[in-house]
Amino acid sequence: MTSAGLDPPPRVEARGLARRFGPVIALDAADLDVRPGSVHALLGENGAGKSTLAKCLVGALAADRGRIVVDGRDVTLRHPRDAHALGLGMVWQHFSLVPCLTVLENLVLARPDAPRWIDWRHERAALDAFLEDVPLRIDPGARVADLAAGEKQRVEVVRQLRLGHRVLFLDEPTSVLTPQEADALLGRLRALADAGRISVVLTTHKLDEVIAHATHVTVLRRGRVVADAPLDRTIDAATLATWMVGHAPPSVARPAPRDARQPARLSIRALRVARAAGGPPVAIDALDVHAGEIVGVAGVSGNGQRELVEALCGQRSVDQGAIDVDARPWRADRASMRAARFGCVPESPLANATAPDMALADNLVLRVFDRAPIASRTGRVRRDALRASAQALAARFAVQSGALGRAIATLSGGNVQRAVLGRELVDDTRLLVAVNPAFGLDVGAAADVRRRLVELRATGCAVLLVSEDLDELITLSDRIVVMFEGRVVLSTLGVEADRQALGLAMAGHSAIASARADN
Amino acid sequence: MSDPGLWALPLALAGGALRAATPYLFVSLGECLTEKSGRINVGVEGILLVGAMSAFGAAWATGSPWAGIAAAAAAGAAMGALHGALCSLARVSHVAAGVAILVLGTGIAFFAGKPFIEPQAPTLPAIELGAWSSHPAVASALRLNPLLALGVVLAFGMRAAFRRARVGLAVIAVGDDAAAATAMGLHVDRTRLAATTLGGALAGIGGASLSLFHPTGWSEAISGGQGLMAMALVIFARWDPVRCLGAALLFGAAGALAPALQAAGHGHAWQLLHLAPHALTLAILVTGTTRARAMRGLPGELAVLR
């Protein structure tokens, strides 16, 4: 096993790479030049082609056209093995570690030259020696299932280095990290790159990450490279944003603060809900959402937000405590939801909010199909009325036209999201629970969704907004609470929210966070 | 102590445990291996029967009990491989395929076993651990099935392999997270096919231990559902081969409860006492699946048990 200090990383170039998926052009003649020792950001929105480009360069996806040149030689990458031989490797967005094994077991098993019969003491000593040379702290004896996302990400990077990879591709590496974890990881990688030991290519849509950590940026839009430049002081976030979306991004104005306190529509007291994957239960002492108020829930995913939402939607049983809606105990059945005019946009809407094999039209009318005008008095469903209602709901968020008769599972993630938004964010919604409502949407559609939330708030709807996008939360929320390990560890007014304090609270440093929030 | 007296019952239970544990042990080790790789084979009862039948037939035909064991292992491997191949097809339910294997195995064993119901085949030589004792009861309780000794070695060997061998870790990885295992360059389907085949071979040997050791013989009632109970036993053992050994002994003892009490003259409710292993199975399934802790060791890909 070579040490991380040896051979410098190779230069990796893409020339005119193109790739289609059916009728969709994911990548259209893209060029890229990754110089040794650089941290190269591939910036773009969802679907801009940045992940496709990265996958082609690690052999995970074959390009239809174009060349890949490594240290001046043309290479063909048919399989990740081919990339491995050249020292190129990818850290995937979804972790590729086996949860029930330890860190050390994972690292050894990933090696193609792992011995048949493993001497763990020897392997541990070898890993410890290797880690002395690498500024990434990991616990080799810990079970992967017990690690936080940031720790797993570090293990993934160590694994790449152990495999002898010198050009690391990271696919949205910070999407599951707190801002502090992300800064720490990217800072360490930048240090390794500055020392000339590795090159890093990271795909991202986060502008501040690019500015803080990258040495070069290549911006992609709709499969094309629209900008390519070394990062210097002349490039700021506004420049990058304009490159990324083609125009200055639309902004949603922060809603004006409301004067009078409205009554609490949703009221949670001493709630205890068991967690899906074990771990500390959701334990919320008090949380109210008033009419005409947006309450944002921040937190790294996996800290109980999912279970909270499932309990509100009736998908998970409440162990203790009370959920009241309009001062009455909440029974999340169909009749109560209709009476409360409750709407919910959960995470993974295809799995949680649709019947995947049913048609888009049928899914759009799930809340209303058993009422007039769709249902007749005898309970018969009028297909024409159903179609008209579905059409109207689909139009609200511009769901792919002409797909009404198709099974919703065959639609793209963005279209499923729009369909569920169209169904749940109707005008008379009075209580809304929304999880990452703008996830997977382009900038324009995301702004539409956010504007819609503000409109609903203005009409007196109470909104519980669970989001991993801090900017979204800070812009929209009247109040923000931070969840960590099932508890609310910080509560702050939206106008006073401080990214630093929120980030620390998300990482569990609640003492520091509340001290800062007090200042 | 010259008279077993008070010791008769525990001695009979210990003897029963040692005698009856062998089929449980082999089937559960095979099932443990299969499930660790992320597959479930509910057809092991059928494989157990095919193993018992082919072991007896081969031993009868060749005159060698060892040829019987080889035949049982081969037949079991073939059934396991069939199950593994069915499961690697897209959208095939592992449970439904397993039920098919169960029915198929039972049918094959009953059909092909018809000529073997009468004859006598050579028996496996016993390991006489009780030769030191002058008591016939002690000596008889400690007459060990040689396959039990093999099974004990195998249980410890499998545990060591799961902890220290590359191939053992590969099986665990494939069974816990197929996507992660693929990303590591492991061959998910190939590994699972091998594990399922080997698991079938072990279940087949379990069948041989039924028909080739005292009392020898082939009958259609030979297994009495031991293959099905061995599946519960794997859950009880939390997918650890050495705990499978302990659980197999416990199940063996439960099975010996009724005959032992009868022999001691307490034969009133023997039909009920014969239910002991089944009651144990039920108790394990209820307690084993209602406490979160008991599910530790559950392979992540084995979603069918959740």
Residue of A239, A150, A160 lying closest to A200 (CA atoms) = A160
Identify the closest residue of chain A to B170 by CA–CA distance: A109
Identify the closest residue of chain A to B174 by CA–CA distance: A98
Domain with B293 in it = 14-117+143-298
**Rounded to whole angstroms, how far apart are CA atoms A31 and A46?**
19
Closest residue to A109, CB basis, from B179, B184, B297? B184
Q: Which residues of chain A have pLDDT under 50?
A: 1-5, 511-519
CATH code, B198: 1.10.3470.10
Q: Do A118 and B164 touch (CB under 8 A)?
A: yes
Q: Which H or E run contains A178?
A: none
The answer to whether residue B132 sits within a structural domain is no
**Rounded to whole angstroms, how far apart are CA atoms A419 and A430?**
19
The answer to whether residue B260 sits within a structural domain is yes
Contact A39, A193 (CB under 8 A): yes
Residue of B130, B156, B152 lying closest to B249 (CA atoms) = B152
Residue of B285, B248, B284 lying closest to B147 (CA atoms) = B248
Look at residue A3 in the predicted model and tell me its pLDDT: 44
Look at residue A277 in the predicted model and tell me its pLDDT: 62
The answer to whether residue B8 sits within a structural domain is no
The answer to whether residue B230 sits within a structural domain is yes
Beta bridge partners of A407: A359
Identify the closest residue of chain A to B181 by CA–CA distance: A98
The answer to whether residue B35 sits within a structural domain is yes
> Above 70 in pLDDT, residue B242?
yes
Q: What's the ipTM?
A: 0.85
Give the residue from A84, A94, A97, A100 with the most B CB atoms within 10 Å of its CB, the best one to mutate: A100
Interface of B with A in 125-164 (CB under 8 A): 164
Q: Which residues of chain A does CATH 3.40.50.300 include?
A: 12-245, 250-341+428-519
Q: Do B177 and A117 touch (CB under 8 A)?
A: no
Domain A250-341+428-519 CATH class label: alpha beta
Look at residue B130 in the predicted model and tell me its pLDDT: 76
> Above 60 in pLDDT, residue B191?
yes
B246: confidence class by pLDDT, cuts 50, 70, 90:
very high
Q: With an 8 Å Cβ cutoff, is B280 touching chain A? A: no
Contact A165, A492 (CB under 8 A): no
Closest residue to A116, CB basis, from B166, B181, B183? B166
**Rounded to whole angstroms, how far apart are CA atoms A373 and A466?**
33
Pick the CATH number of A12-245 from 3.20.20.70, 3.40.50.300, 3.40.630.10, 1.10.1740.10: 3.40.50.300
Total residues belonging to chain B: 306
Give the residue from B177, B187, B296 with the most A CB atoms within 10 Å of its CB, the best one to mutate: B177
Q: How many CB pairs under 8 A join A and B?
A: 57
Contacts of B181 in chain A (CB under 8 A): 98
Look at residue B304 in the predicted model and tell me its pLDDT: 52
**Rounded to whole angstroms, how far apart are CA atoms A440 and A348?**
11
Number of domain units in chain B: 1
The answer to whether residue B60 sits within a structural domain is yes
The answer to whether residue B110 sits within a structural domain is yes
Beta bridge partners of B143: B128
> DSSP letters along chain B, please?
----GGGHHHHHHHHHHHHHHHHHHHHHHHHHHHHHTT---TTHHHHHHHHHHHHHHHHHHHS-HHHHHHHHHHHHHHHHHHHHHHHTSTT--HHHHHHHHHHHHHHHHHHHHGGGSS---PPPPPEETTTT-S-HHHHHHTEE-HHHHHHHHHHHHHHHHHHHBHHHHHHHHHHH-HHHHHHTT--HHHHHHHHHHHHHHHHHHHHHHHHSSSS----TTSSTTHHHHHHHHHHHTTT-HHHHHHHHHHHHHHHHHHHHHHHTT--TTHHHHTTHHHHHHHHHHHHHHHSGGGGTT--TT-GGG-
Q: Which of A71-80, B100-109, B184-193, B235-244 has the highest mean pLDDT?
A: B100-109
Look at residue B267 in the predicted model and tell me its pLDDT: 63
Q: Do B185 and A112 touch (CB under 8 A)?
A: yes
Closest residue to B173, CB basis, from A109, A116, A118? A109
The CA-CA-CA angle for residues B14, B228, B258, to 5°, reads 35
The answer to whether residue B134 sits within a structural domain is no
Lowest mean pLDDT among A99-113, B20-34, B36-50, B136-150: B136-150
**Rounded to whole angstroms, how far apart are CA atoms A364 and A351?**
15
Contacts of B173 in chain A (CB under 8 A): 98, 101, 109
3-state secondary structure (DSSP) of residue A42: strand
Look at residue A4 in the predicted model and tell me its pLDDT: 44
